[in-house]
A = this chain, B = another copy of it.
Amino acid sequence: MAQGPYKLVSREFQPEPTVVTIGGVTVGGPDVVVMAGPCAVETQDQLLDAARAVKAAGAQLLRGGAFKPRTSPYSFQGHGEEGLRLLAAARAETGLPVVTEIMDPRDVDLVCRYADVLQVGARNCQNFALLRELGRAQRPVLLKRGMHVTVDELLQAAEYIVAGGNTQVILAERGIRTFETATRNTLDLSAVPVLKERTHLPVLVDPTHGTGYSRYVPAMARAAVAAGADALLIEVHPCPEEAWCDGEQALTPEAFATLMRDVRRVAAVVREPAVAATP
């Protein structure tokens, strides 16, 4: 099979899959793990409502942004440490471990004090100063593929973290930039079997950013699991039309519950041993 310009993250180096453990949740094992919650932490009520809803539907982790990478300096940039505190409070209330984005290498200690998984956003996929710092962190990292980054370059970005000593890395496909405008990005689901072939790291798919519209998310969540994804990242908001950012791509709690039911059905047929053995 293909051998890219990376070592520690390759299947050749480690044939058996890496299983990332977060609290009692394992990513990369037999079960599909779903991380869900709002784009941004807005208020205590909004976050708790979202957390309870996604937990009730079966999500195993809570996502929410405290530091938001925004294309415009005039958009809401997140609540920062106050947002992290609200995430920790939601974890205390619901028991869901928390995944949140980190954008600045100077914030690693701060974010590690509150969060269970450190997310690297697509725009920082090749922010090597940040990747190096995360190689020294004591938390699993969710590394999103940049909009212009090839699968092999994503693996090299992960190699920065693993070479630094942190082997707990989850790779995320979240859509690449193409000419198509019907969706916000083009979700490259073929990256799932390609990654499963080339690396032992678990693979997550983010159909929310991949499509950009909530009405396309359930179909792509099912497809991601059918393609072999180990985990999903789904934006859910108690009231999408009132979301401070990206409301058009957030699912309502009801739509998310339906998505969870359907995803479980697909997972049941594709992740049984006989099927999983086919590439």
Contacts and interface: CB of A to CB of B under 8 A. Distances in A.
B70 A150 contact: no
A10 B148 CA distance: 26
Contacts of A278: 218-219, 255, 258-259, 262
10 contacts: A106-B106, A151-B182, A152-B182, A176-B178, A178-B186, A186-B190, A187-B189, A193-B219, A215-B279, A266-B270
B73 A156 contact: yes
B70 A128 contact: yes
A190 B216 contact: yes
Number of this chain's copies in the assembly equals 4
A127 interface: yes
A179 to B, nearest CB: 4
Interface of A: 1-2, 5-7, 69-74, 103-106, 123-124, 126-130, 146-148, 150-153, 156-157, 159-160, 163, 176-183, 186-194, 197, 210-211, 215-216, 218-220, 222-228, 255, 258-259, 262, 265-266, 268-270, 275, 278-279
Contacts of A127: 103, 123-124, 127, 130
